[in-house]
Amino acid sequence: MTKTNISLTKICRTHLSAILAVTALGFVSIEHATAQVRSANGVTVLSVDNSVPQLASVDFVRAKPMSLPLNPLSTDATQSLLSALMTTQKPGAPGHVAGVEGNGTTNPTFLGTPEFAEDGVAPQDFGTNKHPFSTARADLNGLNTNRAYPYRAAGKLFFNIGSSTYMCSASLIKRGIVVTAAHCVANFGRSQFYSNWHFIPGYRNGNAPFGTHTVRQVWIKTSYFNGTDSCAVAGVVCTNDVAVLTLNPTTSGAYAGTSTGWLGYGWNGYGFVNTLTQITQIGYPAGLDSAGLMERNDSYGYTNSSQSNNTMIGSNMDGGSSGGPWVVNFGIKPTLTGETNGSAPSPNVVVGVTSWGYTSTAPKEQGASAFTSNNIVSLVNSACSAAPAACL
């Protein structure tokens, strides 16, 4: 083994040790009295006992941003992009499922103005990797777009790690199915889930315009759960940092997506041409407006074969943005007048979720596990088989 490889191994081992050390915070294990965990066909599901009150134990005001998993490896962005352009990857036939706009009915709740205290989270701006991007508030002057489709299909995800409340970002991809990052629901390689998830679609500065929604089941790939996932950096840059959550219906029997609508989702390179595409990223990063407002980032994305085939974008988002959707063809599709569609024209299709950033703040890049027929399709199919009403 070369000296370089030895050093790299030490870096990765040190980083993995840091990940595993956080178990001292106290995670929900598979022996937890109010949870049942099952694994089959490469998928692991946590079924939550909703007879136990959960709302009181979630601190919506002092929730901490889930730290963005940090990739310690240095990178030559130019070489990585050239390599991506010269690589012809065939993960399988691209596919997608379309989203739905919803009826827009609101059920506003005020959760308290967030008291964000900086928790050691650093921002990611045009960085040394020279990957152009544009990051700005989703809100427009005088218009709270968090109540309008497609923005309202995204939101903030609160959950507990031990007795502390943390937050990630997430989005609806079915009437009652939410997608986020696996690291927002489980501790990589430790066969341990977190607990007490609450999804707030359209969250804005303490306001929950479409109410709060608890979780019935959490689905991740078993390889992520037990630590056998293919990762360029263990627990950080992985193939399957993807999770699907089945929501509980409201007391009226409706699901969150009935009002908000939901985004579509695509796999195996839907919307990509020669490993390139245009990505719109949505999330609630702690370094921008203290995670109180929804933020939007636009950048070209490319597949990086050296980073577990993750998609790479330029971004100014950081902790709290984890799990936020990466969308192709974002927005309201126009009516064609003397024009024709291009290829892969379906609007608002999620092809990944925010997974990680670099340890250094200089590159201003983030990565996402690519959606494939092996992860997003198998997870959604499993969730919909267990709760068909959430997927109608």
Residue 352: its pLDDT value, please?
Answer: 98
Residue 71: its pLDDT value, please?
Answer: 82
Of 121 and 95, which is predicted with more confidence? 95
- The 10s digit of each residue's pLDDT in 8-60 is 333 343 343 434 333 333 344 443 444 699 999 999 999 997 766 655 688 88
Rounded to the nearest 5°, which phi and psi values hold at 323?
90, -10
- The 10s digit of each residue's pLDDT in 92-111 is 788 777 777 777 777 777 77
* Residue percentage of the chain with pLDDT more than 70: 81
Tokens of 370: 């690519």
Helices (H), the chain: 3-21, 77-86, 222-226, 256-260, 378-386
Of 97 and 231, which is predicted with more confidence? 231
pLDDT surpassing 90 at residue 124: no
Of 89 and 325, which is predicted with more confidence? 325
Residue 383: its pLDDT value, please?
Answer: 98
Neighbours of 54 (CB within 10 A): 17
pLDDT surpassing 60 at residue 373: yes
- Would you list the DSSP string of 19-67? HHHGGGG--EETT-TTEEEEEETTEEEEEE-TTS--GGG--SSSPEEPP
Residue 13: its pLDDT value, please?
Answer: 38
Residue 236: its pLDDT value, please?
Answer: 95
Per-domain residue ranges of the chain? 25-335+343-391
CATH of domain 25-335+343-391: 2.40.10.10
Tokens of 304: 């990086």
- pTM of the model as a whole: 0.81
Average pLDDT, the chain: 84
Of 99 and 387, which is predicted with more confidence? 387
Tokens of 23: 């178990």
Q: Contact 246/215 with Cβ under 8 angstroms?
A: yes
- The 10s digit of each residue's pLDDT in 255-313 is 999 999 999 999 999 999 989 999 999 999 998 999 999 999 999 999 998 899 999 99
